[in-house]
Amino acid sequence: MKVKKQKKLIGGKRLNRSYGGDAFIFTLLTVFGIFFAFPLVFNINHAFKPMNEIFLFPPNIFVRNPTFNNFQDLFIMMSKSWVTFSRYIFNTVFITVAGTVGLIVIASMGAFVVSKYKFPGSKIFFQGVIITLMFSGAVTQIPLYLVMARFGWIDTYLSVIFPAFAMPMGFFLLRQFIDTIPDTLLEAATIDGAKEFGIFIWIILPLIKPAWLTVMIFSVQNLWNARASTFIYSEQLKTLPFALSQIVVTGVARQGVGAAVGLFVMIVPLVMFMLAQSNVLQTMANSGIKE
């Protein structure tokens, strides 16, 4: 009978698994990694392809003669618009930053109260948040439009920023992460004279940093790619993805520019995820752990 060797891991934990099992897991993860990375690699190479390679069939995954002509054509087209390119960038950056900051502040404060303070209806409230996770954005578009119209926020930044504060996934992840914080730690802080707001600022927020960084990534991804065409009609208030999408639909001749548009839109969420991916993994690992 073959005895499997135990190998010591970081943190003092031991994993009872054979070298053959490690090789299988490594191979499986490599295959899945290549599979999921394929669209990203293809889009990056596609943006630098000249026109003759873009229409090549079967298409090449890697560019043979890289060029920046697609990006030059993109900026030339945007410079001819009566609304400057910098205005579209400002609109998108402002909406993304305001919506993300508001979401983190409101969701973390609400998650702290629901997690550590038991009040009548707290469980029902959290169950309601979980139920909202089952609904897609298309289901809530009409009610959301009616609410924004009643407030008079149509064709303003608030019509996009304010709904971003109520992302159920952000509240859920933050609440689950706060559940892992021992109550004894908060009780000790209270005995030392700390107030509720001080406990939230100086204890809760630093301890849940991986969680709110994860929520920040999700929020930036949603808001940066938001076209907001349902709520914003003024050209000076439109977002960058909406302005770039109008270029793509102009025809086949703009396929090179369209490839550059796709790379330009996805670069910001991609960079943010690369910088904070360890925090995302830690949040997902701790989201179901209770004290």
Asked if residue 16 is part of any domain, the answer here is: no
Mean pLDDT of 72-84: 74
Asked if residue 94 is part of any domain, the answer here is: yes
Q: How many domains does the chain have?
A: 1
Structural domain of 168: 77-286
**Taking the C-alpha atoms of 137, 143, 144 and 147 in order, what is their torsion angle to the nearest 10 degrees?**
-170
Residues 6+ away with beta carbon under 8 Å from 154: 145, 148, 231, 233
Asked if residue 198 is part of any domain, the answer here is: yes
Q: What is the pLDDT of residue 10?
A: 42
Mean pLDDT of 151-167: 89
DSSP character for 235? G
Q: Which helix (H) or strand (E) holds 7?
A: strand 6-8
3-state secondary structure at position 15: strand
- Kindly indicate the confidence band of residue 281, based on its pLDDT and cuts at 50, 70 and 90: low
DSSP character for 30? H
Condensed to tens digits (0 to 9), the pLDDT of residues 221-268 reads: 888 888 887 888 888 888 888 877 776 666 655 677 777 777 777 777
Best CA proximity match to 180, nearest among 116, 269, 132: 116
Q: What is the pLDDT of residue 5?
A: 44
Asked if residue 49 is part of any domain, the answer here is: no
Do residues 261 and 239 lie in contact, with contact meaning Cβ atoms separated by under 8 Å? no
Taking the C-alpha atoms of residue 238 and residue 87, their distance in angstroms, rounded to an integer, is 9
Condensed to tens digits (0 to 9), the pLDDT of residues 187-223 reads: 888 888 888 888 888 888 888 888 888 888 888 888 8
Do residues 71 and 257 lie in contact, with contact meaning Cβ atoms separated by under 8 Å? no
Q: What is the pLDDT of residue 103?
A: 92
Q: Which of 78-82, 180-184, 274-278 has the highest mean pLDDT?
A: 180-184
Mean pLDDT of 49-72: 79
**Bridge partners (DSSP) listed for residue 7:** 15
| Residue 225 belongs to domain with CATH number | 1.10.3720.10
Best CA proximity match to 113, nearest among 197, 209, 219: 197
Asked if residue 265 is part of any domain, the answer here is: yes
Best CA proximity match to 162, nearest among 140, 135, 144: 144
Do residues 221 and 268 lie in contact, with contact meaning Cβ atoms separated by under 8 Å? no
- Kindly indicate the confidence band of residue 11, based on its pLDDT and cuts at 50, 70 and 90: very low
Asked if residue 19 is part of any domain, the answer here is: no
Asked if residue 58 is part of any domain, the answer here is: no
- Measured from the Cβ of residue 175, the count of other Cβ atoms closer than 10 Å reads 24
In the chain, which residue ranges form alpha helices assigned H by DSSP? 19-47, 51-54, 69-79, 85-116, 122-132, 137-151, 158-164, 168-178, 183-191, 196-199, 205-207, 209-224, 240-248, 255-286
- Measured from the Cβ of residue 182, the count of other Cβ atoms closer than 10 Å reads 9
% of the chain exceeding 70 in pLDDT = 86
Task: Give me the amino acid identity at 263.
Answer: L
Q: What is the pLDDT of residue 12?
A: 46
Condensed to tens digits (0 to 9), the pLDDT of residues 80-133 reads: 777 777 788 888 889 999 999 999 999 999 889 888 888 888 888 888 888 888
- Kindly indicate the confidence band of residue 2, based on its pLDDT and cuts at 50, 70 and 90: very low
Taking the C-alpha atoms of residue 97 and residue 76, their distance in angstroms, rounded to an integer, is 27
Q: What is the pLDDT of residue 259?
A: 77
Q: What is the pLDDT of residue 122?
A: 80
Specify whether the backbone of 20 is left (phi greater than 0), alpha (psi in -120 to 50) or beta. Answer: alpha
Asked if residue 56 is part of any domain, the answer here is: no
Residues 6+ away with beta carbon under 8 Å from 106: 165
